[in-house]
Chain A
Amino acid sequence: MAQSYSLFLGCIMPNRYPAIESTTRFVLDKLGIEIKEMERAGCCPAPGVFRSFNKPDWMVAAARNLAIAEANGADLLTVCNGCFGTLFEVNHALKNDEELKKDVNARLADLGYHVEANQEVKHIAQVLGFDIGPYGIRDYLKRKVRLRGAIHYGCHFLRPFHLKQIDDPEDPTILEDYFEALGVELIDYRRKHACCGAGGGVRAGHIEVSLEMLGEKMAAITEVGAEAILDICPFCHLQFDTGQKSLNEKFGTNFNVPVIHISQLTAFAMGLDDIGLEYQTIAPDFKLEAVEL
């Protein structure tokens, strides 16, 4: 049986960076993975803001999304670190706590849902980087890319480590191995594994602090001469893309580094020319350079 996933859209991907959605669909289709739509799904809800306001309500809303994926009969796939953080954590909590599951289901019943927590929650970077892997992906590539790239992992893909257990959060290699297989020349930079500054409701509540954190990263990325930032999360994507513009306006800096999501770069290497960079705020005229195999 062909592999299938319930694709969880979330908020920022469909509503700000639809090109990430279209390239994700393109990549999954090329890999022969069937997508099951998650009708009626909503916000994950975001682990920074909504979990902070009311954790029990946050769990119920997340469990509702999990229930929609379960009704599809296919594991849930997210494309975003934030959604991954929320849905993975709630799924894990429900799996390991029968009492909690009973309480959550009691509240879900009023909304017309029931959750079993018998499925997995996966991140696209896990599917590409581990399940397919840097060797497996070669079979699907039409071309490689010539690019000096700076990787940004984001926080909730690897942390907290004792829950996620995907890769060492202090010195991971999963994305390095994968992007290298696509032809990217990787460059390290200072504070590579630091937060982009968007999470935790800081971007919403304290934009100046959020931009200062971003500015430090951007200075380091510019210093090493990266041609693009490679990320795996639409929220980091938004922070890098619109944040550079805000930094330039506020502090007179001159940051201009395009940001590319793992789905976009993979789609390009699989032969898709239009990966939607022209819709982005920063460097809309940036063109990826292909290397024939």
Chain B
Amino acid sequence: MSVFKNPPCVLDSGKRDPTIEETLKAAGFDPNLCIQCGTCTASCPSGRWTAMRTREVMRKAAFSIEVVLSDPDIWLCTTCYQCYDRCPRDLQVTDAIIALRNLASARGFISDKHRKTVDLLHKTGHAVPINDRIRKIRKELGLPELPPTVYCYPEELEKLGKTLFQLPPRPEDHDEEEER
């Protein structure tokens, strides 16, 4: 029988998936080296304004807790690399977050807003496509109206779109994550 009337709050393990830990290791973040010092959290510009705590994300991921993949927290990282450069154990934190995002994306956890940037890339070859106002300004500045990028080569653009960034659909039981 437990000595506790109310059992102490321990890490809620949730569902675990060992691929998460393997992904971290492959990305240059060996969970056994992390001393959970929190330098990453303290360095995080996004964490100043949100409930995202880098140390906590890395801890959950180190324990392979599956919910870390569907949690919008990993998408609040601006990839500023401050945690990465400051980690006293030289762990590649930012790259690990990117690897987690890759794993999340492969399972369809990508927000609609992010899916739109991929649509733009497929349609125009650019994440930020040109518009009529800019075409006019380009002419005024003495530049070619259209830069000679892949946008001017629709056949190649179509081929690229078919080859790259084909995103899996969102899992059926998962709604678009709520806005903060």
Docked-complex contact A21 and B160, CB < 8 angstroms: no
A215, chain B: closest CB distance, angstroms: 9
Give the distance in Å from the alpha carbon of A212 to the alpha carbon of B94 in the complex.
21
Nearest chain B residue, comparing its CB with the CB of A52: B101
Give the distance in Å from the alpha carbon of A12 to the alpha carbon of B143 in the complex.
15
B89, chain A: closest CB distance, angstroms: 14
A9 is an interface residue with CB less than 8 A from chain B = yes
With A11-B126, A160-B85 in contact, is A205–B79 under 8 Å at CB?
no
Docked-complex contact B149 and A9, CB < 8 angstroms: yes
B137 / chain A contacts, CB cutoff of 8 Å: 18-19, 276, 279
Docked-complex contact A208 and B180, CB < 8 angstroms: yes
Nearest chain B residue, comparing its CB with the CB of A9: B147
A288 is an interface residue with CB less than 8 A from chain B = no
Give the distance in Å from the alpha carbon of A64 to the alpha carbon of B110 in the complex.
25
Docked-complex contact B129 and A15, CB < 8 angstroms: yes
B128 is an interface residue with CB less than 8 A from chain A = yes
B78 is an interface residue with CB less than 8 A from chain A = yes
Docked-complex contact A205 and B113, CB < 8 angstroms: yes
A243 is an interface residue with CB less than 8 A from chain B = no
Interface string of B97-136 (1 = CB under 8 A from A): 0110110011000110110111001000111111100100
Across the interface, A155 reaches (CB within 8 A) one of B78, B113, B121, B143, namely B78
A181 is an interface residue with CB less than 8 A from chain B = no
Docked-complex contact B80 and A21, CB < 8 angstroms: no
Docked-complex contact B126 and A15, CB < 8 angstroms: yes
Closest CB pairs A-B (n = 10): A159-B81, A52-B101, A42-B125, A200-B78, A195-B80, A42-B150, A200-B79, A14-B147, A11-B126, A155-B80
B40, chain A: closest CB distance, angstroms: 13
Interface residues on B, range: 35 or more
Docked-complex contact A209 and B76, CB < 8 angstroms: yes
A5 is an interface residue with CB less than 8 A from chain B = no
A170 / chain B contacts, CB cutoff of 8 Å: 85
B11 is an interface residue with CB less than 8 A from chain A = no
Give the distance in Å from the alpha carbon of A15 to the alpha carbon of B152 in the complex.
13
B67 is an interface residue with CB less than 8 A from chain A = no
Complex interface: stretch among A33-41, A114-122, A124-132, A141-149? A33-41
Report B's interface with A, CB cutoff 8 A.
Answer: 45-46, 48-50, 72, 75-82, 84-85, 92, 94, 98-99, 101-102, 105-106, 110-111, 113-114, 116-118, 121, 125-131, 134, 137-138, 141-143, 147-151, 153, 156-157, 159-160, 163-165, 167, 179-180
B95, chain A: closest CB distance, angstroms: 8
Docked-complex contact A48 and B79, CB < 8 angstroms: yes
Give the distance in Å from the alpha carbon of A204 to the alpha carbon of B110 in the complex.
12
Across the interface, B114 reaches (CB within 8 A) one of A64, A111, A160, A205, namely A205
Docked-complex contact B128 and A11, CB < 8 angstroms: yes
With A54-B102, A159-B84 in contact, is A209–B49 under 8 Å at CB?
yes
Docked-complex contact A202 and B128, CB < 8 angstroms: no
Give the distance in Å from the alpha carbon of A110 to the alpha carbon of B126 in the complex.
21
Docked-complex contact B79 and A18, CB < 8 angstroms: no
A57 is an interface residue with CB less than 8 A from chain B = yes
Docked-complex contact A202 and B167, CB < 8 angstroms: no
B154, chain A: closest CB distance, angstroms: 12
Report A's interface with B, CB cutoff 8 A.
Answer: 9, 11-12, 14-16, 18-19, 21-22, 25, 37, 39-43, 45-55, 57, 60-61, 64, 85, 107, 110-111, 155-156, 159-161, 169-170, 194-195, 197-202, 204-206, 208-210, 212-213, 216, 276, 279
Docked-complex contact A45 and B121, CB < 8 angstroms: yes
From A45, A64, A200, residue with most partner B Cβ within 10 Å: A200
Nearest chain B residue, comparing its CB with the CB of A235: B128
Across the interface, A49 reaches (CB within 8 A) one of B114, B147, B179, namely B114
Nearest chain B residue, comparing its CB with the CB of A276: B141
Docked-complex contact A161 and B130, CB < 8 angstroms: no
A110 / chain B contacts, CB cutoff of 8 Å: 163
Docked-complex contact A195 and B45, CB < 8 angstroms: yes
B156 / chain A contacts, CB cutoff of 8 Å: 40, 111
With A40-B150, A53-B165, A202-B46 in contact, is A155–B79 under 8 Å at CB?
yes
Docked-complex contact A48 and B78, CB < 8 angstroms: yes
B46 / chain A contacts, CB cutoff of 8 Å: 197, 202, 209, 213
Docked-complex contact B75 and A111, CB < 8 angstroms: no
B147 / chain A contacts, CB cutoff of 8 Å: 9, 14-15, 21
